[in-house]
A and B are shown apart, each in its own frame.
Chain A
Amino acid sequence: GAVVSQHPSWVICKSGTSVKIECRSLDFQATTMFWYRQFPKKSLMLMATSNEGSKATYEQGVEKDKFLINHASLTLSTLTVTSAHPEDSSFYICSARGRGILYEQYFGPGTRLTVT
């Protein structure tokens, strides 16, 4: 149980285009979803927290107009990187948290984004 999928697993896009990454909780309802960014050989940095049906809370320094987060249902959250630039290239990871015994973070497999 507590499986989180993420799609796509890797994507290459041209500078100036937008990319959407999907995060789904497959077998539980996620009241909260989190988006992280990880640079090579570094730790994970929290970008934003989203609760179902409400606006995401972005961490300091994360541009909300560049990284659009939508948490439309209890099983789906999306991250859209708008007008991507090479400096947006990174490993993006989502996690989901449920209720009760599922009140811990479960992570998706990550999406490797390369902007050329």
Chain B
Amino acid sequence: GIQVEQSPPDLILQEGANSTLRCNFSDSVNNLQWFHQNPWGQLINLFYIPSGTKQNGRLSATTVATERYSLLYISSSQTTDSGVYFCAVEAYKYIFGTGTRLKVLA
């Protein structure tokens, strides 16, 4: 089946720093989403991005489907950005990535 790997697995930043999270997938996919899971477990939709580039405030994402990867950029990070970031791809079913655990220090 499709493998979805995220890197880095853990990331610690000072408030105000920028970061790039990566999602690699091993086969062609139909859809790709990025989520932020907050400390209470709620998954928040960040981007629906099967291809191309999107921006929303301090966050942006790029998916290069032909090369099987997606990137999530976080600029000027804030402590509220802490949590786990997941990408999820849909081929024959939805598969979640391994996650990146982000901690932003004040």
Residues of A bordering B, CB below 8 Å: 2, 34, 36, 38, 43-46, 49, 59, 91, 93, 95, 103-107, 109-110, 112
Nearest first, the 10 closest Cβ-Cβ pairs linking A and B are: A107-B43, A104-B48, A44-B96, A110-B41, A43-B96, A109-B42, A43-B99, A46-B94, A43-B98, A104-B33
Q: How large is the interface on B (under 10, 10 to 19, 20 to 34, 35 or more residues)?
A: 10 to 19
Taking CB atoms, residues of chain B closer than 8 Å to A44 are 86, 88, 96
Taking CB atoms, residues of chain B closer than 8 Å to A104 are 31, 33, 45, 48
Q: In the bound complex, what is the Cα–Cα distance between A109 and B41 (angstroms)?
A: 7
Taking CB atoms, residues of chain A closer than 8 Å to B40 are 109
Those of B12-45 within 8 Å (CB) of chain A: 31, 33, 35, 40-45
Please classify the interface of chain A as helix (H, G, I), strand (E, B), loop, or mixed, using the class held by over half of its residues. strand
Give the number of residue pairs across the A-B interface with Cβ within 8 Å. 45
Q: In the bound complex, what is the Cα–Cα distance between A60 and B95 (angstroms)?
A: 13
Query: How distant is B51 from chain A, measured CB to nearest CB, in Å?
Result: 14
Tell me whether A105 and B41 are in contact (CB under 8 A).
Answer: no
Q: In the bound complex, what is the Cα–Cα distance between A49 and B94 (angstroms)?
A: 9
Tell me whether A43 and B42 are in contact (CB under 8 A).
Answer: no
Q: In the bound complex, what is the Cα–Cα distance between A34 and B41 (angstroms)?
A: 16
Among B43, B96, B99, the most chain A Cβ lie within 10 Å of the Cβ of B43
* Extra contacts besides A44-B88, A104-B45 (17): CB < 8 Å: A36-B96, A43-B99, A44-B96, A46-B93, A46-B94, A46-B95, A49-B93, A49-B94, A93-B43, A95-B43, A103-B48, A104-B33, A104-B48, A105-B33, A105-B45, A110-B41, A110-B42
